[in-house]
Structure 1
Amino acid sequence: MSQTIIAQAETPTEAPAAEAGHGEAGHSEGTAAEGGHGGGVFPPLDTATFPSQLFWLVIFFALLYVLMSKVALPRLAKIFHDRMARINGDLSKAQALKEETEAAVKAYEKALADAKAKATTIAQDTRDKLMAEVDSERAALERSLGKKIAESEAQIAKSRAKAMGEVDKLATETAATIIAELTGTTVSKTAVAKAVADAVKG
């Protein structure tokens, strides 16, 4: 029993010593580890970590590819297609407006040409009608003037003949009177009239 008590008394003393030795060993190991870490290779350049780095790099690019192919690229494609559709629609509208404008210009030019042709035809018809009326009125005026001139000439001729007859009669009477006063003889009016007529003709 005395041996048992002695063993129990010795055991606590050995345990702290063992713990102290263990603590010193751990402290020395930690110091060594810290010293090794402080003088080691930069982790991204450590060849021992390359496999894990490549693994995570592959995973990252795979996720990036999935994200781009499933989200970003479809959105970009949709934006591109929408913009192209809008541009094509605008081009189609512009082409339609251009065609409508050209059709309107052609219709205007045709209407203008038709109006000019119609105006020319109307002007020609009016001119022809006026010329016909003028010719008709001129012909009527010429006929009227010709008739009046003929009547005037006939009246003048008649008046002249009458005047000449009066002149011949007056001349015959005057000549007979003068002869009678100068010669004291009476001459027949027939002889005097013949003499006056010969004098007028000569």
Structure 2
Amino acid sequence: MPQIAQLAATYSSQIFWMLLTFGFVFFVIGLGMVPKVQSTVDARDRKIADDLDAAKAGSAAADALEADWRAKENEARAQAQAKLAEAKAKGAKDREAKLAKADAAIGEKLAAAEAVIETGRSKALGEIEAVAAEAAADIVRRLAGAEVSSDAALQAVKAVL
């Protein structure tokens, strides 16, 4: 084969051009581009690590703020409940005082009204007794034809009532 026969003549030339091409590629890409790409990757990794650290620090700060806020909220809630309980107690005390005052006033009015009613009842009973005594005396006079004194008729009506 003629290609194999030419191999010895072109072998050194092919090795030269192969070394020259690979050398060029090595120097251009290996020493020129790879360090730039590697520095970009390193910068990106550093940026990601810094961002993660900043996020962790921010999360820790947010957690601390939340814990502080919750503590303040719980304290404010406890103070509000204490004030509410105090206001309820004061309201109940004021209400009891007002109820006692109103009860006393109603009791006085009730006693006065009962006294008026008792006076009216006694007066009405006296009038009823007088009317009944008059009616009894009149009935005895009409039926029996006898005269009865108003004192005797009043005594008889009181005895019956």
Check whether TM > 0.5: yes
Contact 2:133 2:150 in 1 (8 A): no
**Larger CA Rg, structure 1 vs 2:** 1
Q: Which has the higher contact order (CA 8 A, sep 6+)?
A: 2
Say yes or no: does 1:140 pair with 2:104: no
Say yes or no: does 1:154 pair with 2:115: yes
Contact 2:134 2:150 in 1 (8 A): no
Q: Which residue of 2 aligns with 1:172?
A: 133
Per-residue deviation at 1:196? 1.2
How many Å separate the matches in 2 of 1:126 and 1:77? 72
Per-residue deviation at 1:72? 3.0
Say yes or no: does 1:98 pair with 2:59: yes
Contact 1:179 1:187 in 2 (8 A): no
What is the RMSD of the two structures over their aligned residues, measured on CA atoms? Answer: 3.7
Please list, as runs of the form range in 1=range in 2, the aligned pairs for 1:13-24 lying within 5 A after superposition: none
> TM-score with structure 1 length normalisation?
0.56
95-104 vs 156-165, greater mean Cα deviation: 95-104
Q: Secondary structure at the match of 1:47?
A: helix
Identity of aligned residues (%): 25
120-129 vs 147-156, greater mean Cα deviation: 120-129
Query: Unaligned stretches of 5+ in structure 2?
Result: none
How many Å separate the matches in 2 of 1:80 and 1:185? 143
How many Å separate the matches in 2 of 1:107 and 1:198? 91
Q: Which residue of 1 aligns with 2:149?
A: 187
Per-residue deviation at 1:152? 0.9
How many Å separate the matches in 2 of 1:67 and 1:188? 154
Aligned length: 159
> TM-score with structure 2 length normalisation?
0.67
Aligned AA (2:46): A
Do the aligned partners of residues 86 and 52 (structure 1) sit closer, same or farther apart at CA in structure 2, a change above 3 Å counting?
same
How many Å separate the matches in 1 of 2:148 and 2:30? 160
Please list, as runs of the form range in 1=range in 2, the aligned pairs for 1:90-129 lying within 5 A after superposition: 90-107=51-68, 109-110=70-71, 112-129=73-90
Q: Which residue of 1 aligns with 2:91?
A: 130
Per-residue deviation at 1:167? 2.9
